[in-house]
């Protein structure tokens, strides 16, 4: 696994993915249908306040999602991005993949993304900071204790509403240095991720956008490729790799 392999080298292309890229694998998007769970909005469950007042409810919500990871497979969009990374790497061209998705599909396709909103398969201890990659303990009714300090319940290592995304400084630096920027499958409404497109434009990058619907942050300067990521990205990634000489 190439965790962090995309850090430290000034990239030529930076890709930002959102829920739309995993939609073709069967993961529901946030702003489409299915935003209600047990009569509650996702925004009510995915918060530090909910975890502190109703931990059993929040845990059940995330354990159900963690269980479902194994049922999904990477789709041609994930594969196209992993293939482009390999091609660019062989040609010595920088590449950085940033994802807002908390599923493991990019990783299973062979990529090493920066997970700015965390990862469902990782658990984190709020007391000692220990992190474990764990998809074995999936019982919705049983908390997982911390193996380091024995705190009784680790939390999912995902960024909740009101929390700061991960590696924001790295991400801003990568996007600021991009010559090409591609945003795929994201509605462009959740900041700071939604601001990356403008940051790339400000840095002089050519900007490409794929989504089913026009994202909120789309501008006339962007080249927009409407459609399903699984259909659009294989051809688009091929074209971008060629433009970068790979
Ligand atoms: P959204 O659900 O807001 O947006 C999904 C986008 O994908 C929309 O623009 C759809 O048009 C598009 N889309 C749907 N199906 C698609 C497909 N098959 N191919 C291409 N595009 C498709 O998801 P995000 O923008 O990822 O944050 O949401 C951003 C953040 O909001 C999430 O990471 C999450 C949520 O709050 C946290 O949990 C912190």
Structure tokens at 58: 């929040």
- Residues forming the active site: 117
pTM, 2 dp: 0.94
Q: Identify which of 76, 107, 81, 109 has the alpha carbon closest to the alpha carbon of residue 96.
A: 81
Residue whose Cα lies nearest atom 9 of ligand 1: it is 187
Structure tokens at 94: 């920088």
β-strand partners of 36? 41
Nearest atom of ligand 1 to the alpha carbon of 187 = 9
Mean pLDDT of the chain: 92
pLDDT computed for residue 9 by the predictor: 45
Q: Identify which of 168, 65, 84, 174 has the alpha carbon closest to the alpha carbon of residue 123.
A: 65
CA 114 to chain CA centroid, nearest Å: 7
Ligand 1 mean position, distance from CA 169 (Å) = 22
Cβ–Cβ < 8 Å for 111, 97: yes
Q: Phi and psi for 224 in degrees, rounded to 5? A: -105, 130
Q: Which of 15, 183, 190 to mutate to test the pocket of ligand 1 (most atoms within 8 A of CB)?
A: 190
**Lining residues, ligand 1, CB within 6 Å:** 18-20, 23-24, 29-32, 46, 100, 117, 159, 185-187, 189-190, 210-213, 215, 228-229
Q: Identify which of 202, 236, 239 has the alpha carbon closest to the alpha carbon of residue 77.
A: 236
The tens digit of pLDDT for each residue in 38-86 reads 778 887 889 999 999 999 999 999 999 999 999 999 999 999 999 999 9
Structure tokens at 96: 């950085």
Cβ–Cβ < 8 Å for 140, 60: yes
Ligand 1 mean position, distance from CA 243 (Å) = 27
pLDDT over threshold 70, residue 11? no
Ligand 1 mean position, distance from CA 21 (Å) = 8
pLDDT computed for residue 32 by the predictor: 67
The tens digit of pLDDT for each residue in 183-203 reads 999 999 999 999 999 999 999
β-strand partners of 97? 15
């Amino acid at each position: 696994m190439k965790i962090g392999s995309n850090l430290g080298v000034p990239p030529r292309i930076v890709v930002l993915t959102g829920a739309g890229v995993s939609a073709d694998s069967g993961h529901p998007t946030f702003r489409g249908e299915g935003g209600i769970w047990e009569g509650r909005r996702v925004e009510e469950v995915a918060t530090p306040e909910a975890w502190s007042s109703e931990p059993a409810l929040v845990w059940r919500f995330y354990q159900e999602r963690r269980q479902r990871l194994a049922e999904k497979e990477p789709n041609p969009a994930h594969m196209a991005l992993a293939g482009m990374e390999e091609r660019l790497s062989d040609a010595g061209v920088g590449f950085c993949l940033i994802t807002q998705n908390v599923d493991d599909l990019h990783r299973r396709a062979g990529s090493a993304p920066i997970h700015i909103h965390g990862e469902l398969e990782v658990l984190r201890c709020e007391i000692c900071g220990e992190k474990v990659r764990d998809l074995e303990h999936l019982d919705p009714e049983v908390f997982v204790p911390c193996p380091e300090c024995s705190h009784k319940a680790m939390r999912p290592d995902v960024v909740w509403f009101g929390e700061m995304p991960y590696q924001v400084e790295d991400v801003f630096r990568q996007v600021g240095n991009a010559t090409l920027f591609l945003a795929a499958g994201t509605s462009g409404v959740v900041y700071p991720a939604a601001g990356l497109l403008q940051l790339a434009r400000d840095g002089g990058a050519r900007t490409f956008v794929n989504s089913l619907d026009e994202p909120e942050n789309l501008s006339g300067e962007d080249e927009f490729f409407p459609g399903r990521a699984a259909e659009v990205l294989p051809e688009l990634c091929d074209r971008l790799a060629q433009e970068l000489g790979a």
